[in-house]
Structure 1
Amino acid sequence: MKFAKISQKLALWAGSPKTFMGALILIGLWGLSGPIFDYNDTWQLIINTSTTIITFLMVFLIQNTQNRDTDILHLKIDELLRVNKEARNAMLGLELLDLKQLEALRKHYRAMGENEVFELEGLVSNRKQKPKWDEC
């Protein structure tokens, strides 16, 4: 629970424009300090090690926030399916299906929408003509 709260705060902080500008300034200062240290191995090692550690930690932070966002999205969609009388309640358990079953379901829904063509304004017309997916 504490990790989730900390990662949310860190993700907000890491994604802010101030943090980005701070990172740019640090990289600029590092670059400007090159002549002072004669561009030696230690000078290069500092930026390599720093960026590697930050990248390694950010992978876990991003994955945690992505998992949380995905869970929230699924719960919202599940609630919409639950309250919609025309929706199939079987859709609430799709995460239990294997890849073959998901692909069969995907093909089923593609076939349902095969004869639907979207107008540029976003309106649906029920023309019986198949869309040409390879054209813009």
Structure 2
Amino acid sequence: MRLATAFKNFASGASRATGKPITFVLASSIVVVWGISGPLFGFSDTWQLVINTGTTIITFLMVFLIQNTQNRDSEAMHIKMDELIRALNGAHNALLDLEELEDDELDLIRGRYRKLAKKARDDIDAGGVDVGCGDVDKDDDPPPSKKAVRTPK
């Protein structure tokens, strides 16, 4: 088994296990037992070092496990959304792979969508519906033939 596959399997399993309520109860119990044992050890530096070291190591390792599962989930979500965009007739294929664009390019596209959303809300307020709101790839308003259409009530 490849190291990457083994790590993926371990990270996924650890993520599932640590996300369960029983794991939280177990971790909380350890902290309570540690706190109760304070008088037994005279609240010594060693007693404090045990919990500090243990929690630091666990936190350090969990960051990598959580990041791995988060990256995988995010990548899978991007692929699924890309497939939906690709499969929908009329969807803008230019939106595929947006996560690879620079921030200023994303800001420009986001601005176009905000403008389109405002126009759609304005059309709805005027008695129209939220369909055929125009082209996202252009900064100008859509032609009158593409304005929201009214539906019979």
Does the TM-score normalized on the shorter chain lie above 0.5?
Answer: yes
1:57 aligns with 2:61: yes
1:22 alignment counterpart: 26
The AA in structure 2 aligned to 1:38 is G
The AA in structure 2 aligned to 1:127 is D
Identity of aligned residues (%): 46
1:127 alignment counterpart: 125
Consecutive unaligned residues of structure 2, counting only runs of 5 or more, are 127-153
Shift of 1:45: 0.3
1:108 aligns with 2:112: yes
Shift of 1:96: 2.8
With normalisation by structure 1, the TM-score equals: 0.85
Alignment of 1:34-49 (within 5 A): 34-49=38-53
1:71 alignment counterpart: 75
CA distance in 2, matches of 1:37, 1:96: 55
The AA in structure 2 aligned to 1:25 is S
Consecutive unaligned residues of structure 1, counting only runs of 5 or more, are 118-124, 129-136
CA contact (8 A) 1:81 1:89 kept: yes
**Is the partner of 1:72 in helix, strand or coil?**
helix
CA distance in 2, matches of 1:91, 1:107: 14
CA distance in 2, matches of 1:68, 1:93: 16
Shift of 1:116: 3.6
1:2 aligns with 2:6: yes
CA distance in 1, matches of 2:90, 2:40: 70
Pair member with larger Rg: 2
1:36-88 CA distances to partner (integer Å, 9 max, x unpaired)? 00000000000000000011011111100110110111011011011101101
**Is the partner of 1:85 in helix, strand or coil?**
coil
CA distance in 1, matches of 2:28, 2:100: 44
C-alpha RMSD of the superposition: 1.5
1:97 alignment counterpart: 101
